[in-house]
Amino acid sequence: MHDIVEPNEEAADYPMESPRTEPDHCIDPPTAGVARSGPRVWFRDIGESKEPVGDQAWMDPGQSEFLRELAAQMARGVVQASQRSIGYEDGKNMRDFLDLAELDFIERGLEERLWGEELKRYLRGDALRFWLYLRRTGEPLTDWEQLRQRFCEQFCNITLERMKVMIAKNVWRGDHHAYSARFADIVAQGVTVAPDMLVGYYLANLPGEILREITRGGTRTFADWRDAAAALAAMATPWKDLCENHHRFRRDLEDATRRWAKGGREPDLVRRDFLDLAELDFIERGLEERLWGEELKRYLRGDALRFWLYLRRTGEPLTDWEQLRQRFCEQFCNITLERMKVMIAKNVWRGDHHAYSARFADIVAQGVTVAPDMLVGYYLANLPGEILREITRGGTRRFADWRDAAAALAAMATPWKDLCENHHRFRRDLEDATRRWAKGGREPDLV
């Protein structure tokens, strides 16, 4: 962006070139909060003239010569003086250049319909030849947005291969704002990619538990990557609250296990099993069900026999087996809340939602009455983080009871498996692109 080159006749015959997407012809756009890359120039009075003063820390000799010549032209009236001098562009810094050109036109008070025509004064080389080509082919130079888009398509885009390498380096660091901003920066520089492909690449670097949640275990799809980014942003606060609650229940189970290890015995299921075995024996012996209650006394001893005698004395109908069974379970089958916690802590997740829920149901059936929201907390406590994210939708979904949570766990199994396969495919694609680039390319950057 240094030498002044006037339009020439040879430029008129310049054929349209394919987009310049080689690695050495791409300059990434500036990150937010960083000054743009146009030369900083101001003027100070020296005697009767104005001499440009630049930032000598980075200005090369060619830059200085260019600024002196530009100042001389402005003094002669060749170029209108303006508050901002943006230099000249040959196509290598097009995105930054167009931003600076817009600012310059605005400061000079030019109408937007004149910007396209004025742009030629700032161009040289390939960029100037492309402007002349557009003018020859009838491109509407009065439509700045369309003209800007044409220049960006021609000079700003990077190849898909480089995009993949840059996306692969956009790893998740826990901040959805930064993750999405970096992805947007890469997409803005790159060639056009199908929306569903961009969604796949956007999701590829997210941790499994976050992926589960924003896709609802693979059941939710996104129209484009910005739709996925909105879902990622929406889950942040509720998930934090859920995690705190989840850790509280985990600590409760761990504390109960430690206390039990110091002074308790291993819980068992003998009494409930006994009633089941008694039923089988009565059936095999051909006894009518109305006689089972009376026959039960032959199998009892100790506290159980004394309770049977108590029921008989108080007029409990021994002919109603289901009611009698329920009374015995209420008396002998219920375990304390402390023992329930120890048993729940041992119900670890092994990848089978059927088995996990069945074991939990068995423990709850034996235990004392516990508030539904507490049972939900204990049910979720042993689930892996990625599953917890998905079934609670990042903390935004609540369950009426633990069976409601179990139904959500069952519903996510198949879609999640399909999503995982697709997720791994995109991950492999990015890893392969990175390996290929390492063998024969240069390191991409986002300067």
**Both structure tokens of 384:** 């892996």
Please, which pLDDT band fits residue 113 given cuts at 50, 70 and 90?
very high
Task: Give the residue-averaged pLDDT of 392-408.
Answer: 87
Question: Rounded to whole angstroms, what are the CA distances from 18 to 45, 88, 148, 189?
Answer: 46, 22, 17, 16
Contact (Cβ atoms closer than 8 angstroms) between residue 92 and residue 27:
yes
Q: Which residues pair with 42 in a beta bridge?
A: 53
Q: What is the radius of gyration, based on Cα positions, of the chain?
A: 37
Q: How many residues does the chain have?
A: 447
Q: Which one, of 313, 356, 309, 341, lies nearest residue 328 by Cα?
A: 309
Nearest-angstrom CA–CA distance, 435 and 433: 5
Residue 201: predicted pLDDT: 93
- Best-predicted range by mean pLDDT (35-44, 98-107, 205-214, 421-430): 98-107
Domain ranges of the chain: 9-155, 237-267+336-411, 270-333
Q: Tell whether the model's pLDDT for residue 117 goes beyond 90.
A: yes
Task: Give the residue-averaged pLDDT of 200-220.
Answer: 86
- Looking at residue 141, the DSSP 8-state letter turns out to be T
Please, which pLDDT band fits residue 180 given cuts at 50, 70 and 90?
very high
> 106 vs 174, which has greater pLDDT?
106
**Both structure tokens of 145:** 């947005």
Please, which pLDDT band fits residue 224 given cuts at 50, 70 and 90?
very high
Residue spans of alpha helices (H) in 300-412: 302-313, 321-328, 337-345, 353-366, 372-381, 385-391, 402-411
Provide the pairing of β-strand 41-46 with 49-54. antiparallel
Contact (Cβ atoms closer than 8 angstroms) between residue 10 and residue 68:
no
Residue 93: predicted pLDDT: 66
- Best-predicted range by mean pLDDT (226-230, 396-400, 441-445): 226-230
Cβ within 8 Å of residue 138, ≥6 positions away: none
pTM (2 d.p.): 0.36
